[in-house]
Amino acid sequence: MSSLLDIKNLSCGFGEEVIVKNFNLQLESGTIGCLLGGSGSGKSTVLRVIAGLHPLQSGEIQLLGETIGTVNMQIPPQARSVGMVFQEYALFPHMTVSENIAFGLRHLTTAEKQGTVGKLLDWLSLYELDDRYPDELSGGQQQRVAIARALARKPKLLLMDEPFSNLDLSLRKRLASDLRELLVRENITALVVTHDQNEAFLVADKIGILHQQHLQQWDTPYNLYHEPINKYVAQFIGQGRFVPGKLVSPHSVTTVLGTIEGNRAYPWPVGSEVEVLFRPDDITLSCTATPNCEIIKRSFLGAEILYEVRFTHGLQLYSMLSSSQEYATGQKVEARLKMDHLVLFQ
Amino acid sequence: MVLAPLFFILLGWIQIDVVIWQHLRDTLLSHLLWNTVQLVAGVAIGVLVLGVGLAWAVTQWEFPGRRFYEWALMLPLAMPAYVLAFVYLGLFDYSGPVQGLWRNWVDPDAQLIDVRSTWMVITVLVLVLYPYVYLLSRSAFLMQNRAIYDAAQLLGLSQQQIFWRLALPIARPAVVAGTTLALMETLSDFGTVAIFNYDTFTTAIYKAWFDYFSLSTASQLASLLLLFVLMLLLTERYLRGRTRYYSDPVLHQQRSALNRTQRGILLLFINVILILAFFMPVTQLLIWSMESAQSVFDPSYLNLVARTLWLGVSAVLVTVSAALALAFARRYFNIPIVNHAVTVATLGYALPGSVLAVGIMFVFVTADKISLSVINLFTETSAHSLFMGTVWALLLAYLIRFMAVAYGPLDSGLQKIRFEFAEAAQTLGASRIGVLKEIYLPLLRPGFFTAATLVLVDVMKEMPATLLLRPFGWDTLAVKIYELTSEGEWKLAALPAITLVLVGMIPVYLLMQRAITPTSLTQNHSLSKEPGI
């Protein structure tokens, strides 16, 4: 199956300044992608380039196999079949909810417009709000109007720039999974930009990490966590600590915590110095007669508790345990490794 | 366009009309300078005391009718200074009703006041111009964090010390800005000083042109006046220092109560000011208008109003579209050269009308000379003027002088329209024209309305440039007032004057609506239209 969106070797920035380069990404039809990165990483700029609102410096963008943007040829935004939900939504303040949603439907008759708008209002449970003005809506309602407005033209691709940034924390989680449900139900291909990895995990099928001008990894959330491609991604996604070790075979490594066996072979020669990634879920704690570490810090997270432990040889690691087991700070416990795969970096 | 007249004014020094200039220097110059210095100093002290004092009173104390007085104190802004001037002259002149009554009832030989004194000119200007200081100081006081005062009180400061050591220094930028505005108006004022026969640079410029027909002398005087304006602006910049508007809006501030005596004194004072500056002159104008209505209100008066409106509307069209172009240029090409161009283009407001008029005359006379010499090479016609004395000169003057007035509301309106609105419209299939038509124009409507109203009103009230540049027979209400009052026809001037006062209430009303929220006040165009303020 060919990709709906295909970005090849894209570079973009402001004037001479390059913010993103060698950017490659394929988004399959019906999937939800997410660009994740800190502020200034260029994620929003990439989105604006795809929408045609910002020029690119090199590379090519294809939508459904058709080139929509190169350095020399840029189809204007109004002629691309791309919808966009802006950060803070950019709802037109002088138009009602219905007028906002109908804005892109100028080519339709009044009856057709009403039909489309009505369907969208229904979909997004906005029916009673149709003649309100944007400033009379809550943040979550504004977001739904912005989505409806972008979807009204039936774009091939929906772009969303920080769709949750101006909602309060408690709303974000719920709306993020609501959004995913809606996009999946309507089989909409979308590319979302966010700086919050929790949002990304809730919404996306595939996540791309942007850092220092490059797309570091474009993969499923599971793989990003369990198979990070480099130390940056490993650190950025989830917690973790690196412990020095030595490769004893392509599959195994020895550290101060003993020899660990992995499930895949690393190409480096036996005896190379490596760093081993330890995730909090790689370590379990138990109260035994032979403790090897001490709890130095604990953070209660509800269903789970995150502990930081110090081994007798000075090494410090995280351990995430179910809340049903509880240890006090200063308590001596025994840590055991529970790793089914091995992530090594040179 | 702004720079060309300035350039020509300075060029005027090349061609010195020796005889007139010597005459001027020997007899007039020191007189003009002394008069101007007196006037500026007097008005400065007056507007500072009145403006800051009243602003402090309405922001710190609670008294009956405080809300009413808070906005009523802005009303004198609607009164053109020259209108108040001729009302006072009519009322208090030796032959006027007040002194007449005094002679009849008290002392047949007394001359109560000399109306044509420096004091009267200063009083009239202060009564009309103090609202600038009042408005800006009031918003500055409102924006001061009440917690600072509380802290000061706990540190042992009295109310008085708090005012002098905290409130006033913190409000200094606003106070200085307001005073500068008032003094700019003082320097460029023509009508008031003309009515009181008080010689300043503006009246001298007028005389140099109409009595001596010497454009070069007029321009030399204009450049001296310009020097004063420049000094004023530099002083403003210096006094303001590096402080910026202090905005820490704490809206729910507590006003302290006053005891009965204090309340009485304060109310008496505020009412006296309001009566002197607004209610008495308006009443007098109404009485005079009634008395003279039959003789003034005829087709020729309607014609006059129509002319004034026609001129105003043309100026609105020219100025607002130019300002809109500038505002869009600045939005989409935010580069230094465009920004500088915008700054220069909005500088015209600092040019006194008479200076501007002289500059434009120079430009047009030169353009006439050049184009006519070209035309006369080819044809036998003996046309002597293509540009000078046309309505274009006047429209150009309005454009330059009121560009800032139109630019302010349009620019601030445009800044409130986020770029994303245009982008969102584009991703929804709107073309460039569609974006303009469906997004920008509707959203800019309030800004358009404000800009157009302000320009219209300012053009209607404008006197010196109109007087100098108008084509033959093109009178406006303001010019008519000048002509009638210079012949002592107060009663006949009352109807056009009351018309102007009513028209002048519109911007005051707009201002008051904005003043409800103090945070938006400092951004208000008509107060910040002054460059550098």
* Domain layout of chain A by residue ranges: 3-235, 240-345
CA-to-CA distance for B113 and B98, rounded, in angstroms?
10
State which fold the A3-235 domain adopts: Rossmann fold (3.40.50)
Test A90 with B421 for CB contact under 8 angstroms: yes
A108 CB neighbours in chain B (<8 A) are none
Which helix (H) or strand (E) segment is A259 a member of?
Answer: strand A258-261
Q: What is the pLDDT of residues A277-292, one digit of tens each?
A: 998 888 888 888 888 8
Task: Give contacts of B 408-447 with A, CB under 8 A.
Answer: 418, 420-421, 423-431, 434, 438-439, 442-443
**A182 touching B (Cβ < 8 Å):** no
* B2 located within any domain: no
**A332 touching B (Cβ < 8 Å):** no
Q: Give the per-residue pLDDT at B523.
A: 37
Test B430 with A78 for CB contact under 8 angstroms: yes
CA-to-CA distance for A102 and A117, rounded, in angstroms?
6
Please say whether the beta carbons of B347 and B326 come within 8 A: no
Q: Considering only alpha carbons, which residue of chain A is nearest residue B446? A: A94
Please say whether the beta carbons of A250 and A270 come within 8 A: yes
* B413 located within any domain: yes
Do B448 and B368 lie in one domain? The reply is: yes
> pLDDT at residue A256 above 90?
no
* B273 located within any domain: yes
Task: Give contacts of A 50-69 with B, CB under 8 A.
Answer: 51-53
**A311 touching B (Cβ < 8 Å):** no
B243 is in which domain, residue-wise?
17-294+505-533
Test A92 with B420 for CB contact under 8 angstroms: no
Side-chain half-sphere CA neighbours of B469 within 13 A? 30
Test A77 with B439 for CB contact under 8 angstroms: no
Test A53 with B421 for CB contact under 8 angstroms: no
Q: What is the pLDDT of residues B487-525, one digit of tens each?
A: 877 778 888 888 888 888 888 887 777 654 443 333 333
Q: Give the per-residue pLDDT at B533.
A: 28
Element counts in chain B: helices (H) and strands (E): 26, 2
Q: Considering only alpha carbons, which residue of chain B is nearest residue A146? A: B424
Side-chain half-sphere CA neighbours of B517 within 13 A? 5
* B494 located within any domain: no
Q: Considering only alpha carbons, which residue of chain B is nearest residue A80? A: B427
Q: How far is B415 from chain A (nearest CA, A)?
A: 14
* B5 located within any domain: no
**DSSP code for B298:** S
- Closest in B424, B430, B442 to A90, CB measured: B424
> What CATH number is given to the structural domain containing B25?
1.10.3720.10
A82 CB neighbours in chain B (<8 A) are 427
B334 CB neighbours in chain A (<8 A) are none
Q: Indicate yes or no: pTM above 0.90.
A: no
- For the segment A157-182, the average pLDDT, to the nearest whole number, is 84
Burial degree of B305 (CB within 10 A; 0-12, 13-18, 19+): middle
Test A94 with B443 for CB contact under 8 angstroms: yes
C-alpha pair distances (Å), B463 with each of A236, B356, B505: 69, 12, 18
Which helix (H) or strand (E) segment is A258 a member of?
Answer: strand A258-261
Do B94 and B158 lie in one domain? The reply is: yes
Residues of chain B with pLDDT under 50: 245-246, 252, 516-533
Do B184 and B313 lie in one domain? The reply is: no
* B495 located within any domain: no
Q: Give the per-residue pLDDT at B527.
A: 38
Q: b/e map of B355-377 (b: 16 or more CB within 10 Å)?
A: bbbbbbbbbbeeebeeebeeeee
CATH for A240-345 is 2.40.50.100
- Closest in A76, A82, A103 to B425, CB measured: A103
Tokens of B145: 């964090």
* B3 located within any domain: no
Do B474 and B386 lie in one domain? The reply is: yes
Do B247 and B347 lie in one domain? The reply is: no
- Closest in A87, A90, A104 to B429, CB measured: A104
Q: How far is A92 from chain B (nearest CA, A)?
A: 6
Q: Considering only alpha carbons, which residue of chain B is nearest residue A150? A: B428
Question: Are A3-235 and A240-345 equal in CATH topology?
Answer: no
Q: What is the pLDDT of residues A315-336, one digit of tens each?
A: 899 999 988 888 889 899 999 8
Do B248 and B206 lie in one domain? The reply is: yes
Do B94 and B135 lie in one domain? The reply is: yes
Do B369 and B431 lie in one domain? The reply is: yes
Do B369 and B302 lie in one domain? The reply is: yes
Give percent of chain A above pLDDT 70.
Answer: 99
What is the count of structural domains for chain B? 2
A84 CB neighbours in chain B (<8 A) are 423-424, 427
Q: Give the per-residue pLDDT at B20.
A: 60
Q: How far is A26 from chain B (nearest CA, A)?
A: 22
Q: How far is A45 from chain B (nearest CA, A)?
A: 13
* B284 located within any domain: yes
Q: How far is A42 from chain B (nearest CA, A)?
A: 17
Do B308 and B319 lie in one domain? The reply is: yes
